[in-house]
Structure 1
Amino acid sequence: MDWNTLASALFGADHGIVRTGDFLHGDVLFDGAPLTIIGTTHHAPIGVALALAQARLVLDTMARHPARPILLLIDTQGQQLRRRDELVGINRAMAHLGMAIDLARRRGHRVLGLVYDQALSGGFITSGLIADACDALPEAEIRVMRIPAMARVTKLPEAMLTELSQANPVFAPGVENYVAMGGLRRLWQGDLPAALRSALDDSPTDDRRASDGKARGGRRLAADVVQRVLHAD
């Protein structure tokens, strides 16, 4: 689903979201209450400029609209692989975006992520995976690395990784596997406004991804490891 169709389904044809290049931004009304929309489109690579533009809007929302919810619309191919961005500090720009989102959460803003198209790598880690909760449309594509690339990095045969992906969500791309691992809270199907309403009503304030992954059988050990670290002497 393209971003304009999604926005119209959620907020009506006069939604007020603007596209500036690959950057989506705007203020919308939902059930009579304002939301800040921050997002990307066209499988945007997240470079320094785009990371800083998103962070700026998060900070502006905190300054001008305390406690207003923020909805992140996610469609990214990951970080920008370009020498210029590496030289000017893409790692710091993306960290700045992640810290801005985390600060918004700590200041009482509900921050929700919605993967409506594609979410890969660092572009997803510094947005939807830092939100209070991240959901997705069923047709979205989410992965960190394709199996052929994973085989090159791990030096393991593709056939072995393919076999592992059939039983272990950690090795497999796809929204259902990210739900199983707890990275995604739920999929939005059918009535999209109702799904957003539910997401706003029950967004958690604590990080439940590890416990969700354990309960769903997608990550069986992460929650226990977290507790052991937290309670270590």
Structure 2
Amino acid sequence: MPDKMPLDAILASLFPEGHAVTLADGLITGDGPLNGGRLAVIGIDGDTALGIEGACHLAGRVLDVVRAGGATPILVLIDSDSQRMSRRDELLGLNEYLAHLAKALLLADAQGHPTVGLLYGHSAAGAFIATALATRVLAALPGAHPSVMDLPSVARVTKLPLETLQAMARSTPVFAPGLDNMVQTGAVQVVLDPDKPLGPQVGALIAESPADDTRDALGLARGGRPVARDIAARVVGEVQGVVVREAQGA
């Protein structure tokens, strides 16, 4: 696995003319110039676990962008541990804080602020879902290592032998952690080239970002999720049918 690109190198490649992005307690906030405008930046660095304070702080920065209006895009940089699974955080409702951050990103996107995730290190579990998977488009850099749940944890939850899960992971990308599998399932749209300036690459992702979520279509095309798109379409069709029948009955 290649070494991950450090944050300072990423920021220098994104903003060669300088930026106002800062790092404090593992949390990234600020902005920088991009294509004649500004690019808002939030994120997590240093394999930091995302707790309630961090989730609330990052959500607040996203909502600040929404309140300011305009169409400022938001870049989410991600090198995190999983969520901070302390007893304190769990008792204070960590799941709700993570959901709040995810919903803030979805709101920003719905209000005209394109959201792009850039995974450059590790990320897992709730922290991965509330940041990377809550953006409209997710890209990555070589050296990134995402996972929704590692296989030892899956084994504990499912009670299946680890060896069985490892065998399944070799043929079924949905079971397997790692960047290549996330690309194959469509969760990661593209792996960027660290040897080229990142600003133009991120700018192109923003300009070309699809209006709708295309992860299921990518997963189908890449062979990583062959039935997800069909199942999702059937569910949507059933729901639409129920709405129509209820409206006719009313």
TM category (shorter chain) comes to: over 0.9
Equivalent in the alignment of 1:185: 189
Which has the larger displacement, 89-98 or 147-156? 147-156
**Structure with larger Rg:** 2
Unaligned runs of 5+ in 1: none
Deviation, 1:193, is 2.8
User: Aligned partners of 1:205, 1:195: CA distance in 2, in Å?
Assistant: 19
User: Aligned partners of 1:146, 1:214: CA distance in 2, in Å?
Assistant: 23
Counterpart AA for 1:221:
V
Equivalent in the alignment of 1:221: 227
Deviation, 1:230, is 0.7
Of the three residues 200, 208, 221, the one matched with 1:202 is 208
Of the three residues 13, 19, 31, the one matched with 1:15 is 19
User: Aligned partners of 1:69, 1:6: CA distance in 2, in Å?
Assistant: 17
Deviation, 1:83, is 1.6
Equivalent in the alignment of 1:64: 68
1:83 aligns with 2:87: yes
Of the three residues 29, 35, 39, the one matched with 1:31 is 35
Deviation, 1:23, is 0.9
Matches within 5 A, 1:135-150: 135-150=139-154
User: Aligned partners of 1:28, 1:206: CA distance in 2, in Å?
Assistant: 27
Equivalent in the alignment of 2:180: 176
SS in 1 for 2:191: coil
Aligned 8 A contact 2:129 2:148 in 1: no
Show structure 1 runs of 4+ deviating over 3 A.
Answer: none
SS in 1 for 2:18: coil
Counterpart AA for 2:224:
G
User: Aligned partners of 1:128, 1:205: CA distance in 2, in Å?
Assistant: 17
User: Aligned partners of 2:133, 2:23: CA distance in 1, in Å?
Assistant: 23
Deviation, 1:147, is 2.0
User: Aligned partners of 2:156, 2:134: CA distance in 1, in Å?
Assistant: 28
1:230 aligns with 2:236: yes
Question: Sequence identity of aligned pairs in percent?
Answer: 37
User: Aligned partners of 1:78, 1:146: CA distance in 2, in Å?
Assistant: 11
Equivalent in the alignment of 2:248: none
TM-score between the two structures when normalised by the length of structure 2: 0.89
Cα RMSD between the aligned structures?
A: 1.3
Q: Per-residue displacement from partner, 1:105-127 (whole Å, max 9, x unpaired)? A: 11111000000111111001011
Instruction: Specify whether residues 2 and 98 from structure 1 end up closer, same or farther in structure 2 by C-alpha distance, changes over 3 A only.
Output: same
Deviation, 1:13, is 6.7
Deviation, 1:66, is 2.2
TM-score between the two structures when normalised by the length of structure 1: 0.95
